[in-house]
Structure 1
Amino acid sequence: MSIDINPRLLRYFLAVAEELHFGRAAMRLYISQPSLSHQIRKLEGTLGTPLFVRSSRWVQLTAAGRTLLKEAPAALAALEKAVELTRLAGAGSATTIRLGYTPVASFGTFAVLLDALQEAHPDFVIDAREIFSAEIPERLCAGDLDIGLALSPPAFDGVDSEILRREVVSALLSTRHRLSETPKIPLKDLRDETLLLFPRRLAPAYYDGIVAACQEAGFAPQICAFEDPPVNAMLARLSGGREVGLAPASFAEHAAKLGTTLTVRDVVDPPIAADLSILWPTNDPSPAIASVLATARRCAERHEWLGSPIA
């Protein structure tokens, strides 16, 4: 069955779903509240199911609404990308950069780089794909990607790389955890804790670096690796207050903002480095790749990404 939905209705839906308040959503969209309510009812009629449960005091998503909230952003992004690619191709000026980035880069690095690329090269179309670090070098060699952002990537024949951002690994834990009031947590104090990490196969060098640091601190870590999408999995596990997540600082700080009962603490003695590198095919001399690398280096300098916090 084919359903014709105006993308504008999806944007209206997302505003209400994010605000959970028709008045605030209407102000955000610069339309009247009655008009917004009418448009949402129109969308519900088209889909044949209610998306919100409404009362005079609150608004909640139905099961169908939660599903649409999960799927709609990707659908809109795909549509906008298709429109932009078509326009640029029609103007004869489209240069597509296929960029694969580790989920960790989503927070504070990829967005900054993307903004800089769009400002410096408005004729570039960035085809961004979230890919785990271990897969990026092979995808570059296979010609599936032009540029990669990977966490502690291994050396790989046919791929060049340089460190773009160096961070410390931070502890992410529940405010109920016994160490939550400790501003700087010595690594040895995690001896008896279960540590949540990305699975080793997704970023082997990063994983091994944490294990080596624990061994240097005098203990073999108890590790639980989670397989689900990183932010959701870590928030769910840490909410119980029994485990400690270890992740690059920017990732940990973003996750803590999503979980109201979570806090971030420094890990010291020793601090652990998390290096995010930019990768590209060794034998690709294209001006476009060179331009991306130059822009990335300017970003690193401007934001002091390589001002090492590791003593």
Structure 2
Amino acid sequence: MDITPRVLRYFVAVAEELHFGRAAARLYIAQPSLSHQIRKLEEELGTPLFVRSSRSVQLTAAGRTLAREAPNALAALDQAVQLTRQAGAGITATIRLGYTPVTGLGTLTALLEALREEHPGFVIDAREHFSAEIPERLRAGDLDIGLALSPQSLEGVKSEVLRRERVTAVLSARHRLADAPRIPVTLLRDETLLLFARRLAPAYYDGIVAACQEAGFTPTVWAFDEPPVNATLARLSSGPEVSLAPASFAEHAARNSPGIVLREVVEPPIMAELSVLWPAHDPSPAIAGVVETARRCAERNRWLRHPEAWLRRSSPRGR
């Protein structure tokens, strides 16, 4: 099927103007030539795109579909052309990616591998920040892309959920709850929860507190501002506290930590969402390309379809 970008642009102009004369003037071509190109496009597709009368031009159902899809196809083509020209000229794009510590190695690694495959000319400058910082840094222009845990909305910043998963309990193998295959939230009533300070990830912190309050109590929290992971795990392996973390992060953090076990939190389960964020106003083709890669990475790894996948993988090991 020989449908060129030029013909698609002709169609988009007519679809937006709903007037062949205005569309022709906008495109700087003669109206008969424009009408001829649209008729050829309809013949190629085997369906009418417009209902024409002496007084009006309206889109058919097929025309509305093409009007919705054509701009995306043209934008993707423009981006591919620009990136190809940059690669041919030896130009690389540096992407400043801010990520929260609880992205977990698996999520961040999968995205970086996908970016290397799809955008080999990009240089990724990955910087660790807390979730609450990332939207502000994007709006200020300090970052190009963010990965944040339950980020708060901020004008000028767009976000999209990439990964949804359970929050799991991280505790010492000697803890009184370690023998329970699952831990109902009510059993945390008498425990001290080891969590990031609220200011570092407000929505995530509030979600945990809300789940506890739904279970009939307000939790006792020991909050930390600068959490070195190894020091925190050492404290958990020998102490009485319980930490609550997204399952993928908890699994990675505890994998090589003797004395640490992971347990599913239930009744109610607590969910965590990891989102990709980017500037809302006029993102560059490079930023748009990273966002598209992140979406494909999430789909390929089924991060949204199967939030329980970690539980199935880790249960045979008793974590």
* TM-score (norm. length: structure 2): 0.67
User: 2:165 pairs with 138, 160, 167, which one?
Assistant: 167
Q: Residue in 1 aligned with 2:299?
A: 301
Deviates more, 1:187-196 or 1:230-239: 230-239
SS of the counterpart of 2:304?
coil
Structure-2 residue corresponding to 1:291: 289
C-alpha distance in structure 1 between counterparts of 2:97 and 2:282, whole Å:
14
- 1:114 matched to 2:112: yes
Higher mean C-alpha displacement, 263-272 vs 279-288? 279-288
Q: Deviations over 1:236-295 (max 9, x none)?
A: 221223111101101111121131110100000000011000000000332111111111
* Secondary structure of 1:239 counterpart: helix
The runs of 5 or more residues in structure 1 that have no matched partner are 1-87
Report the counterpart of residue 257 of structure 2 in structure 1. 259
The DSSP-based 3-state class of the residue aligned with 2:106 is coil
SS at match of 2:294: helix
- Write the mapping of 1:169-208 to structure 2, written as runs, cut at 5 A: 169-208=167-206
Query: Where does residue 68 of structure 1 map in the other structure?
Result: none
Bigger Rg over Cα: 2
Moved over 4 A (4+): 88-91
Q: Please, what TM-score do these two structures have when normalized by structure 1?
A: 0.69
| Residues in 1 aligned to 2:141 and 2:282: alpha-carbon distance in whole angstroms | 10
Q: Which residue of 1 aligns with 2:227?
A: 229
> What amino acid is the match of 2:91?
S
- Equivalences, count: 223
1:130 aligns to 2:132 (yes or no): no
The alpha carbon displacement at 1:92 in A equals: 3.0
Code of the residue aligned with 1:152 in structure 2: it is S
Letter in 2 for 1:121: H
**Corresponding residue for 1:154?**
152
2:286 partner amino acid: A
| Corresponding position of 1:209 | 207
Q: Deviations 1:57-107 (Å, cap 9, x if unpaired)?
A: xxxxxxxxxxxxxxxxxxxxxxxxxxxxxxx99963211111100011142
Q: State the AA in 2 paired with 1:224.
A: W
Q: In the aligned structure 2, how far is the partner of 1:140 from the partner of 1:92?
A: 27
Specify the SS of the correspondent of 2:132.
helix
- Provide the rounded CA distance (Å) in 2 between the counterparts of 1:257 and 1:172: 11
Q: Supply the distance in 2 between the matched residues of 1:257 and 1:217 (Cα, whole angstroms).
A: 30
Matches within 5 A, 1:7-86: none
Q: Distance in 1 between the 2:167 and 2:209 partners?
A: 12
Q: Percent identity?
A: 70
| Coordinate RMSD, CA, aligned | 1.8
Looking at structure 1, the residues matched to 93 and 104 of structure 2 have their Cα atoms a distance apart, in angstroms, of: 23
Tell me how far apart the structure 2 counterparts of residues 211 and 307 of structure 1 sit (CA, whole Å). 26
Q: Distance in 1 between matches of 2:136 and 2:283?
A: 19
Query: What is the aligned partner in structure 2 of residue 99 from structure 1?
Result: 97
